[in-house]
Amino acid sequence: MKSARVQHSSGAAPSRLRGRSHFGAAKARELAELRVRLAEAEETLRAIHSGGVDALVVAGKQGPQVFTRQGAEHAYRVLIESMNEGALTLTANAVILYANQCFAKMVKCPMERVMGSSFRRFLSAGDRVTLRSLLTRTDKSGCKSQMRLNAEDGSQLSVHLSIRALAKTGPKSATFGIVVTDMTEVRRNEELLRALTQRVVQVQEAERGRVALELHDNISQLLCAIVFRSQALANKLSARDRALKGEAERLREMLGKTAEEVERISRNLRPSVLDQLGLDAVLRGASREFADRTGVSIKLACAELAARLPGDTELTLYRILQEALKNVEKHAGARHVTVWLMRQGGFVRLTIKDDGIGFDPDHHPAKRRGKGGLGLLSMRERATYVGGTLTVKSARRAGTQIEARIPLPSTATATR
């Protein structure tokens, strides 16, 4: 075995290596790996000391953990990490500088693949355009938007973004803070509330129909019978009983008016003509009754529809007209009302316009909790129930216009 002398640069005494064993080779490899790791550690420390790095993600048995620099922002970072909402810091190009664990769970992506990646990878094409626009015009006052996140496993998540500019020393060095709120539970609660509202409307209409039927079949018939008996009694009285005869006639008139009022209430609760003759007939009847009772001029223009609408749609449009006319009578002080019913493409549109005193929609009692506004709320909920929308345009001393747009059935003939 040959020997070799190695002169160390440190000036230490030369040593002879009499051979390389397997143990010596393993030690050499281990020493090389340690030197590489030491170089990486030194580079990381230099970056931390210089401010280039302020957080480290370390994989461990309990999952990835974020370690931050101890300093004035430490408590803040602990708070961010403990939030139940996602938190991000982005560059102007939407590169993620920082993300908390909650956001990583939202997108179901390991933290080491979230940090340094683009936030756009979690958005659809349309939301990417929206994000670019928001980052361009967002200032310290911030802005908000609704988007959907595409998780790494292919699922989607509806979220609410609150975006605020953190620093802007130049176009390329701008940073933005984003709070990401999961809207899944909120959407679920909204759907449950809407389903409950629709169920309440269904039960209410069923109860109205039952009460209307009892009024028409029982109370109205009894009142009519009393009217006939009172008329028969008045006819039997002789001319000598003029005072009694006159009282009997007045009693008959009062009973007749009472029977008419009961019939009107029954008709408003559930108009049988709606099922028998359709929407056009019931709208005209309601308009005539309103004009006769209030003295307000009303003009009705109904376009002829090719087919009967679904029963829920016809009842919804009738209820919206009924509620709108009630508001005109109570609050508007109008002299003229115009009603249009027409078809526009795949929608049927009902418009009610008056020349009353109007109101400011932004300061309407409906916006103040517990103070009225139930009429407009009821109309909106009814329109939503059949897949439509309701808009209200009004201004003080400029009248009010209410418009309901309800989608028509996809088939040529509506099924009732």
When computed from its CA atoms, the radius of gyration of the chain, rounded to whole angstroms, is: 39
**What pLDDT is attached to residue 168?**
61
166 contact partners, CB below 8 Å, separation of at least 6 = 89, 175, 176, 177
Place of tokens 């009772």: 293
Domain ranges of the chain: 55-182, 183-270, 273-416
Please, are residues 192 and 145 in contact by the beta-carbon 8 Å criterion? Answer: no
User: For the ranges 26-35, 127-136, 351-360, 369-378, which has the lowest average pLDDT?
Assistant: 369-378
User: For the ranges 128-142, 264-278, 361-375, which has the lowest average pLDDT?
Assistant: 361-375
| Residue ranges in 215-271 assigned as alpha helix (H) | 220-236, 242-269
**What pLDDT is attached to residue 13?**
44
Task: Return the CATH class of domain 273-416.
Answer: alpha beta
Cα 250–chain centre separation: 57
d(CA 300, CA 287): 7
User: Could you tell me the two tokens for 350?
Assistant: 């009902």
Judge residue 245's burial from the number of C-beta atoms within 10 Å of its C-beta, 0-12 exposed, 13-18 middle, 19 or more buried: middle
- Say how many C-beta atoms besides its own lie within 10 A of residue 303's C-beta: 12
pLDDT at 164 over 50: yes
Fold classified for 55-182: Beta-Lactamase (3.30.450)
Longest dimension (CA), the chain: 158
Give percent of the chain above pLDDT 70.
77
d(CA 107, CA 96): 13
Cα 45 to Cα 35, 39, 42, 83, 94, distances in angstroms: 15, 10, 5, 28, 27
d(CA 337, CA 381): 23
378 contact partners, CB below 8 Å, separation of at least 6 = 319, 323
